[in-house]
Structure 1
């Protein structure tokens, strides 16, 4: 049997499989436009993980699939909300909207959730503030976080506190941002708050103080377990670069 015919039959079989399993987009286009390579990609990304069923393989598959079709999961969640509009489904969709840059839509979803009796929760207000901050609207994010604190005075979140400090900085309220970062240093997990605090100090000309912050962080990370250093690798690299620069 000619090789071209084998490739054609393989492509047709894989496109049929993709259509039956809800994967027609974007795989049909990829398989047809990139003969053989597209078919191999479909087998590696979609079929092999199904055969193996490994969690790590599934994660790798998701990463590759997201690169090929960044809005695939968004469409799945949108369909889920259209069928069953629960708070959990809409919250998942709102979170995915933030992940792929659909910030206005994310804010709309969070507003809808917060308007519901069972949805009036601080976690969703924080989600709304994240969307506003990502949309480069720090003043709106600050207003949302201030309202969150007023509605839920006992709610403590290092993530919300860090976002508040960053929003103050973006809004040009530098002195207040520095105070918030300083308050964060005592309890925020990870290295992000310290690195951002040091970067802000450096930005306003407090170079010596910034260097102390970065140096102390790097010493602390050298003494930390390997898994901690691995988890904080991005911020360690930034701190090293800030000292070198």
Structure 2
């Protein structure tokens, strides 16, 4: 039997399987438009993890699937919101919009939630500030975060504090940003806050201080568990580059 015919039959079989198991989109397009390779991807991403059924295999499947179709979850959450418009469903969609860079839509969802009788929660104001920052509107993000702090003075968020520092820097207020970076670096989980603090110090011409920040971070992370170093690999690489550069 010719190889081309075998591939065609395999593609048809897998498209049929995808349609029967609710995976038609985007797999039908991938399988048919990339003969052979598309079928192999479907087998590796969908069928093999399904047969193994282990949590590690499932996580790998989700990572690959997200690369192939990064808006799959967005569509699912959009459909869920269209079917049942609740704060929980809208908040889940807004959070996914932030992840995939749909900042304008995220801002609209958070605005809608905050106007609802039960939507007055600081976490939604923080989401709105993230969307504003993503839209390159640091001044609006600062205003939203300051309003959040005024309305909910007991609300604590390392993520929100870091966002506030970043927004100040982007808004051309480096001295204030430096103060906030220094404060959030003391308790922010992970290396991002300290790396951003060091980068701003260096940008402001305070290179010796920046080197101290990077050096202390790297020394501390050398003593950390391997899984933690791997999770912070991106930021640690930046710190190492700043010291060697």
CA distance in structure 2 between the aligned counterparts of 1:85 and 1:48, rounded to whole angstroms: 36
Does 98-107 or 7-16 show the bigger shift?
7-16
TM-score by length of 2: 0.94
CA distance in structure 1 between the aligned counterparts of 2:49 and 2:207, rounded to whole angstroms: 50
Q: Match for residue 123 of structure 1?
A: 123
CA deviation after TM superposition for structure 1 residue 189, in Å: 1.8
CA distance in structure 1 between the aligned counterparts of 2:85 and 2:53, rounded to whole angstroms: 30
Does 121-130 or 228-237 show the bigger shift?
228-237
1:13-162 → structure 2 map (5 Å cutoff): 13-162=13-162
State the Cα deviation string for residues 186-229 of structure 1 (Å, max 9, x = none): 22222111111111010010111111111111121222233332
CA distance in structure 2 between the aligned counterparts of 1:2 and 1:168, rounded to whole angstroms: 64
Does 205-214 or 45-54 show the bigger shift?
45-54
CA distance in structure 2 between the aligned counterparts of 1:53 and 1:107, rounded to whole angstroms: 37
Q: Secondary structure at the match of 2:118?
A: helix
CA distance in structure 2 between the aligned counterparts of 1:27 and 1:226, rounded to whole angstroms: 36
State the Cα deviation string for residues 81-115 of structure 1 (Å, max 9, x = none): 11122222211111111111111001111111112
1:207-218 → structure 2 map (5 Å cutoff): 207-218=207-218
CA distance in structure 2 between the aligned counterparts of 1:104 and 1:196, rounded to whole angstroms: 25
CA distance in structure 1 between the aligned counterparts of 2:222 and 2:34, rounded to whole angstroms: 47
Gaps of 5+ in 1: none
Does 231-240 or 146-155 show the bigger shift?
231-240
CA deviation after TM superposition for structure 1 residue 51, in Å: 2.1
Q: Match for residue 7 of structure 1?
A: 7
Gaps of 5+ in 2: none
State the Cα deviation string for residues 27-58 of structure 1 (Å, max 9, x = none): 11221122222112111111222222222111
CA distance in structure 2 between the aligned counterparts of 1:152 and 1:103, rounded to whole angstroms: 24
TM-score by length of 1: 0.94
Q: Secondary structure at the match of 1:120?
A: coil
